[in-house]
Amino acid sequence: MDEPDRTLPDGYEDQLGHGALTFANRPLLTGTADLDRWQPDVAIVGAPLDINTTNKPGARFGPRALRAEADHPGAYHLDLRIEVFDHLEVIDYGDALCPHGQSEVGLANIRQRVLEVASRGIVPVVIGGDHSITWPSVEAVAEAHGWGSIGVVHFDAHADTADRIDGNAASHGTPMRRLIESGAVLGRNFVQVGLRGYWPPAHVFDWMQEQGMRWHLMQEVWERGAPAVMADAVAEAMEGCDALYLSVDIDVLDPGFAPGTGTPEPGGMAPADLLRAVRKLALETNLVGMDIVEVSPPYDHAQQTVNNAHRVVMEFLAGLAVRRRDG
């Protein structure tokens, strides 16, 4: 393979942090030829789709907010003592085209853009968007790494395993069922953390149990503590797998910390626990993709939700950077 060419066009660098809006001011690449030339480790992919939302929309603005509204204090991780972007080449690959009112087209475009990244051995970080975007994103990663060979760790207040919601098979409440039905992920390797509240009903949990899925309710997290739960979740998801995909619905956090989301559910995780859980996964497992979803800026206050979501991604990147540095 040729040496990577990471030269920027004239005037481009001056725009970063001033005019051009990219995640953490990383370089913007727009096509597969750029990916082949640059050979990054990680690519940020926007998935601005919220047409499959059941409650309050607005997550289509999540990618824009994570690029434009999050505070960017730097990239030196105090706990891990690493300058993230010194050891991990991260680029922003722009957004998948999600045209108004066309769910199938948008989901197909997300799948294609994530596949362009994952098929090159680049780790996709998908910023949504409602949770329906996880369906095409995980399928693209599974296609690149082996159908049925990756596990999923899913942080959420809701299981998202309904068959249909209002007749919609692509609702943001159904993507995890679609992934298991397609065979992209085996039920035994699908682990959920933080579930709580009053949905889904018992018959959906019965289906989940039949598939071999494992879950850790918020009650268990409260009783045992996040570190103990995460140790079990990692072992369960990795059973028979050598790679994991991480999906984080920001509503896994208590709405006091993350008001900017479409389906808030009281009694959730604190950011300190979520961020360290994501860090643990990134440090200890072979993560080959992730998404952060359901950030709805119209309902946010003082960028609380946006900044928490941004830091979830930064913890993921910091863990990957340590693994790259340490070989």
- SS3 assignment, position 203: helix
CA 321 to chain centre: 17
Could you report the per-residue pLDDT of 97-106, keeping only the tens digit for each? 999 999 999 9
Give yes or no for residue 19 having a pLDDT over 60: no
Could you report the per-residue pLDDT of 261-294, keeping only the tens digit for each? 999 999 999 999 999 999 999 999 999 999 999 9
CA 48 to chain centre: 13
* Tokens linked to 128: 């949504």
Could you report the per-residue pLDDT of 204-247, keeping only the tens digit for each? 999 999 999 999 999 999 999 999 999 999 899 888 898 999 99
* Tokens linked to 22: 């990219």
* Tokens linked to 280: 């643990």
* Tokens linked to 181: 């039905």
pLDDT of residue 195: 98
pLDDT of residue 178: 97
- SS3 assignment, position 245: strand
CB 288 within 8 A of CB 241: no
* Tokens linked to 46: 């926007």
pLDDT of residue 196: 98
**Could you give the C-alpha distances from 36 to 31, 68, 117, 118, in angstroms and in order?**
9, 27, 10, 12
CB 308 within 8 A of CB 257: yes
- Say if pTM beats, i.e. exceeds, 0.75: yes
| pLDDT confidence bin for 9, thresholds 50/70/90 | confident
**Looking at residues 116-129, what average pLDDT do you find?**
98
| pLDDT confidence bin for 123, thresholds 50/70/90 | very high
What is the rounded distance in angstroms from the CA atom of residue 156 to the CA atom of residue 134?
Answer: 12
User: Which residues make Cβ contacts (< 8 Å) with residue 94, sequence separation at least 6?
Assistant: 28, 29, 30, 45, 46
What is the rounded distance in angstroms from the CA atom of residue 48 to the CA atom of residue 45?
Answer: 10
Give yes or no for residue 18 having a pLDDT over 60: no
Could you report the per-residue pLDDT of 298-315, keeping only the tens digit for each? 999 999 999 999 999 999
Percent of the chain, pLDDT > 90? Answer: 87
- Pick from 125-139, 146-160, 164-178: least confident: 164-178
| pLDDT confidence bin for 17, thresholds 50/70/90 | low
pLDDT of residue 169: 87
CB 320 within 8 A of CB 282: yes
Which residue carries 């725009």 as its tokens? 15
**Looking at residues 146-151, what average pLDDT do you find?**
95
pLDDT of residue 307: 97
DSSP-assigned beta bridge partners for residue 215: 192
Q: Alpha helices of the chain — where are they, by DSSP H?
A: 12-15, 32-38, 62-68, 84-87, 103-118, 134-145, 175-182, 202-210, 218-224, 226-237, 271-284, 304-326
pLDDT of residue 94: 92
pLDDT of residue 7: 85
* Residue type at position 163: D
